[in-house]
Amino acid sequence: MTQVYFHCSNSREVRIDRSGEAVSDLAEARDRAAGIVRSLIMGRDAEDWRDWVVHVSDDFDDEIFVLPFAVRPRQTALRGCHAAGAIRPSCRCSAASMRSWRAATA
């Protein structure tokens, strides 16, 4: 396990992760960074997250990778029951739409 830190920044602000998280590999670090992006974007504040990035760093403050908050083009079409990643019982989306949504958010 390796301790990594998920610092977030844009051109005007830096948010430092002081506690970090232990991860077993890069895939887990990437998944955790993606989860942070999702949780901040889905938050109730009015922040425009488009120019933000997550800087994933190790114990020595060496940057491992950067993950932009920018939305992938296929995700911009997700609205309504799919916007927060949850499917509501009243959803009338076709099976093809659901497969497309799952592929876009994978």
* In the chain, domain spans: 2-68, 73-105
Percent of residues in the chain assigned helix, strand, coil, to nearest 5: 35, 25, 45
Q: What pLDDT digit, counting tens, does each position of 72-95 carry? A: 533 333 344 444 444 444 444 444
Between 30 and 96, where is the model more confident?
A: 30
How far apart (Å, rounded) are the C-alpha atoms in residues 92 and 105? 19
Q: How confident is the model at residue 70 (pLDDT cuts 50, 70, 90)?
A: confident
Q: Which residues, at least 6 apart from 47, have a Cβ–Cβ distance to it below 8 Å?
A: 40
Does the pLDDT value for residue 12 go beyond 60?
A: yes
In angstroms, rounded to a whole number, what is the distance separating the alpha carbons of residues 1 and 11? 32
**pTM of structure:** 0.64
